[in-house]
């Protein structure tokens, strides 16, 4: 009986350590289950956990020639792409004597925010002039290019590895710590 109390106390200590790690990393308190008993309920209304942010640079050029007159706009944009977890899909921690299981959705791109836009070229033709609509169309292309480049960079997979490392660095336990990434629900 004493051993059972000690192992339960150890599991509760681990649950508190995991809770503290998530509070440090994400400023949220996840639901924690110990031996199939709910120990702590999730209490923070955080909906996203950003694990990584990467600077993305894109360029886009528009060139149009009409009756021998060319107009050209070339833009360079700097964006911050953020990857992490949509916590509306759920986050739970199950602490057991033989292992600790953290279940959360796969990482994804959470946002791309514009930092800076530079105009590299703005050249009007003699009668083929750059219109406000031309410039607006070209400016609207930059965020789309940044999303595409961020998606191709493997940022979500890197976010999953980063969270695993952060948890392993903060939570020291004899049991193996497993992160299980579940598929997001389709709506």
| Mean pLDDT, the chain, whole residue set | 81
Q: Is the pLDDT of residue 76 over 90?
A: yes
Q: What is the pLDDT of residue 27?
A: 53
* Count of domains for the chain: 1
* Cα dihedral 14→53→159→56 (10° resolution): -170
Do the beta carbons of residue 82 and residue 110 sit within 8 Å? yes
- β-bridge partners, 83: 52, 109
Interacting residues of 2 by C-beta distance below 8 A, sequence separation 6+? none
Residue range 153-178, pLDDT digits in tens: 999 999 999 988 888 888 777 788 88
The verdict on residue 187 lying in a domain is no
Q: Is the pLDDT of residue 29 over 70?
A: no
Mean pLDDT of the region 90-96: 80
As a whole number of Å, the CA-based R_g of the chain is 24
Q: What domain range includes position 62? A: 2-182
Q: Is the pLDDT of residue 26 over 90?
A: no
The verdict on residue 103 lying in a domain is yes
pLDDT range class, residue 30, cuts 50, 70, 90: low
Q: What is the pLDDT of residue 146?
A: 96
* Cα dihedral 28→29→33→38 (10° resolution): -140
pLDDT range class, residue 50, cuts 50, 70, 90: confident
Percent of the chain with pLDDT over 70: 75
């Amino acid at each position: 009986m004493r051993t059972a109390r000690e192992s339960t106390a150890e599991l509760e200590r681990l649950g508190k350590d995991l809770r503290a790690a998530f509070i440090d990393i994400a400023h949220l308190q996840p639901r924690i289950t110990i031996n199939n008993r709910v120990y702590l309920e999730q209490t923070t209304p955080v909906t996203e956990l950003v694990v990584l942010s990467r600077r993305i640079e894109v360029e886009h050029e528009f060139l149009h020639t009409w009756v021998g007159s060319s107009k050209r706009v070339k833009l360079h944009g700097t964006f911050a792409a953020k990857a992490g977890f949509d916590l509306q899909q759920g986050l739970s921690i199950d602490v057991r004597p033989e292992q600790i299981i953290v279940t959360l959705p796969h990482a994804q791109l959470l946002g791309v925010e514009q930092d800076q836009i530079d105009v590299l070229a703005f050249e009007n033709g003699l009668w083929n002039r750059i219109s406000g609509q031309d410039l607006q169309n070209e400016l609207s292309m930059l965020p789309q290019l940044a999303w595409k480049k961020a998606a191709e960079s493997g940022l979500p997979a890197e976010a999953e590895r980063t969270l695993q490392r952060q948890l392993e660095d903060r939570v020291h336990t004899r049991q193996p710590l497993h992160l299980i990434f579940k598929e997001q629900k389709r709506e």
